[in-house]
Amino acid sequence: MKSARQPVHTPLRPLAALRGACLALVLGIIPPGAALASWHGVNMRGTAPPLRFTMVDADLGHVVTARNFRGKVVMLYLGYTHCPDVCPLTLQRVAAVLGRLGPARHDVRLLFVTVDPARDSLAELKQYTAAFAPEIVGLRGNSDQITRLAKRYRLAFSAVPETASHPYEVTHASAIYVFDRAGRARLLEASLASQTPDIAGTAADLRQLLAARGGGALSWLDRAP
C-alpha cells in the first residue's frame, strides 16, 4: 500500500507568509483559533461539516447513518482489511488510546470505512475490526457512498483493480476525524499514523470531548451541507 503523500513545503518570505496565512484563514484552510486551542489534534470546529453518511454496519448487518452514533464521540478513518501496514498500526494505536480512557471508552466509536468494498465483505470487516477493539466498527458502502464521504471530508483514496500489467493497488488518507456527541467535526488527529504517535495527547483530546456531555444544537458553522 502506498502511504498518503505529504505536501511539499516551500518556505515563504516573511510578508508573503503573512499574506498567505491571512488568506488561508479567510478561506478556512487553517482552522480559526487552531493554534490557540488546548488540543493536541488540529481544531476543525467550523471548518468541516457535521458527520453524515449512510452505510452498512458490519456488526449489525444493516444500514446505519450518523444518527445511530449520536451521543458518542466518533472517530472516522478510511482504510481496508488487506492493508499491510498503516491500517493495522493505526488501529493498534487507537486501541491503545481507548485503553487510557477507562470505562469512558464505551462512549467512543471509531468508524472504520473500507475503501475497498470489492474485496472487504461484511464478515471480513467484522472479524478485522474485532481483532483490535469492540469500539471499532466496520462500515461498508458502495462506491458512490464512499466517494461522497471522502469528498465531504477531503480524504483522498483510490482502489485500482489488478490488471495484467498492474497489481491491485489501494491508497487512502491516514488522518482521523473526530466528532463530538452532537456529530460536529471537532478535531483532525494525524499523529496515530505517523512515526511519532501521540497516544496520550489523543486520549486527552477524547477526554475533553467526552466531558462535554451537553451536545446542544448545531451552530450555523456546523450546518454545512
CATH number of the domain within which 73 lies: 3.40.30.10
- The verdict on residue 15 lying in a domain is no
- 102 in a structural domain: yes
pLDDT of residue 163: 74
Query: How is residue 206 annotated by DSSP?
Result: H
Domain that holds residue 162: 42-212
For the beta carbon of residue 144, count every other beta carbon within 10 angstroms.
8
- Give the model's pLDDT for residue 214: 55
Q: Per-block average pLDDT, block size 10, for the chain (225 residues)? A: 39 36 37 58 94 96 97 96 94 98 98 94 97 98 95 89 78 92 96 94 97 57 43
- Residue 82 within any structural domain of the chain: yes
In a domain, 10, yes or no: no
Answer whether 0.75 is exceeded by the pTM: yes
In a domain, 57, yes or no: yes
Identify the pLDDT of residue 172: 87
208, 205, 203, 206: which is closest to 100 by C-alpha?
203
Residue at 63 is within a domain? yes
| Residue 114, in any domain of the structure | yes
**Rg from Cα positions in the chain:** 18
Instruction: Tell me whether residue 131 is in a domain.
Output: yes
How many contiguous H segments (helices) and E segments (strands) does the chain have? 5, 10
Provide the domain count of the chain. Answer: 1
